């Protein structure tokens, strides 16, 4: 079977299994399993695919058909132009979260000490340290398995971060110029409605924001004032309908310059505010 024929059959197979973006996933799995890029494929698409490559490709397609996330099969997801290792112990970095990093970069100054709460893969703090020179990074997560992933990502990107295992501020000392966080924010009752790739293969603890989805915002906002320097910033990623609730909580806690930032679809995505 030629490469082109194999790709076409793969697309049809994934479509028949209800996979969103089947053509895209079929291509990425070919690229990964055959170690080829688009230019090579276009020049060699009429060639016969070697048996071992075809077998590897079919195995990965079978896994994807069972709704195992593409990123878990390839072990990688790009975020802010940086490749991050991912597995079942961390949320897969999403483009929406890049807005949080972009907003943080606007207010974090060189020399700042930044705390990343609920770090997961480490994509937020690592991206900040790659794009903003001379900042110090501390990252905390309740999951040791997630921290193992974050540590590996930091090592791969050559950044030095102080990683701490703990429940929110449990083991945190000192004060910071900024706290950034993408905490669990999906209401418990909504998790069963998520797509299978998320519901069954991403860590539930990184998704579940308790009854109304706002539990971790309340905890972090209430306690963050004791860990922020005067003039320090608190920045959150939020759910599409949580902007008003989170921004009002921050104002009530004494934060100023509180703003809700929307994504390209016009949905609430980030809330940020400054401690006077």
What region does 257 belong to: left with phi over 0, alpha with psi -120 to 50, or beta? left
Q: Which pTM value belongs to this model? A: 0.93
Predicted pLDDT at 133: 85
Residues paired with residue 139 on neighbouring β-strands, in sequence order: 116, 163
Tokens of 73: 């099969």
191: enclosing H helix or E strand: none
Q: What is the pLDDT of residues 194-233, one digit of tens each?
A: 999 999 999 999 999 999 999 999 999 999 999 999 999 9
Interatomic CA distance for residues 8 and 27, integer angstroms: 9
What would the two tokens of residue 98 be? Answer: 């890049």
pLDDT of residue 78: 97
Q: Rounded mean pLDDT of 88-103?
A: 97
Q: Are 177 and 112 in contact (CB under 8 A)?
A: yes
Q: Of 188, 185, 137, nearest to 163 (Cα)?
A: 137
Q: What is the rounded radius of gyration, in angstroms, for the C-alpha atoms of the chain?
A: 21
Residue 179 exposure: Cα atoms within 13 Å on the Cβ side: 29
pLDDT digit string (tens) for 157-197? 999 999 999 999 999 999 999 999 999 999 999 999 999 99
Name residue, tokens 């340290």. Answer: 129
pLDDT digits (tens, 9 = 90+) for 35-50: 999 999 999 999 999 9
- Written as six digits, the tokens of 215 are 């539990």
Nearest to 117 by CA among 178, 158, 202, 76: 178
Average pLDDT (86-110) is: 97
Query: Do the Cβ atoms of 3 and 45 come closer than 8 Å?
Result: yes
Unique residue bearing structure tokens 């001379």: 134
3-state secondary structure of 62: helix
Measured distance CA(234)–CA(40) in Å, rounded: 46
What CA–CA distance (Å, rounded) separates 52 from 58?
10
Mean per-residue pLDDT of the chain: 96
């Amino acid at each position: 079977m030629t490469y082109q024929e194999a790709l076409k059959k793969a697309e049809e197979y994934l479509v028949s299994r209800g996979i969103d973006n089947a053509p895209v996933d079929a291509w990425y799995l070919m690229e990964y399993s055959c170690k080829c890029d688009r230019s090579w494929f276009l020049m060699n698409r009429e060639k016969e695919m070697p048996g071992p490559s075809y077998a590897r490709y079919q195995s990965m397609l079978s896994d994807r058909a069972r709704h195992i996330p593409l990123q878990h099969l390839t072990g990688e997801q790009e975020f802010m132009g940086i490749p991050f290792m991912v597995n079942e112990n961390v949320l897969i970095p999403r483009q929406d979260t890049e807005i949080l990093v972009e907003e943080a970069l606007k207010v974090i100054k060189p020399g700042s000490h930044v705390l990343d709460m609920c770090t997961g893969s480490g994509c937020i703090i690592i991206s900040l340290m790659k794009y903003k020179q001379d900042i110090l990074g501390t990252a905390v997560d309740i999951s040791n398995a997630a921290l193992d992933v974050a540590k590996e990502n930091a090592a791969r990107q050559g950044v030095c971060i102080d990683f701490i295992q703990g429940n929110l501020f449990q083991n945190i000392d000192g004060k910071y110029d900024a706290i950034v966080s993408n905490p669990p924010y999906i209401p418990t009752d909504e998790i069963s409605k998520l797509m299978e790739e998320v519901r069954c293969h991403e860590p539930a603890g990184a998704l579940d924001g308790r009854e109304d989805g706002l539990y971790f915002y309340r905890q972090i906002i209430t306690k963050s004032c004791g860990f922020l320097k005067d003039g320090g910033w608190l920045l959150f990623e939020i759910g599409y309908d949580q902007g008003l609730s989170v921004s009002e909580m921050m104002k009530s806690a004494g934060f100023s310059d509180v703003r809700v930032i929307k994504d390209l679809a016009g949905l609430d995505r980030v809330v940020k505010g400054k401690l006077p």
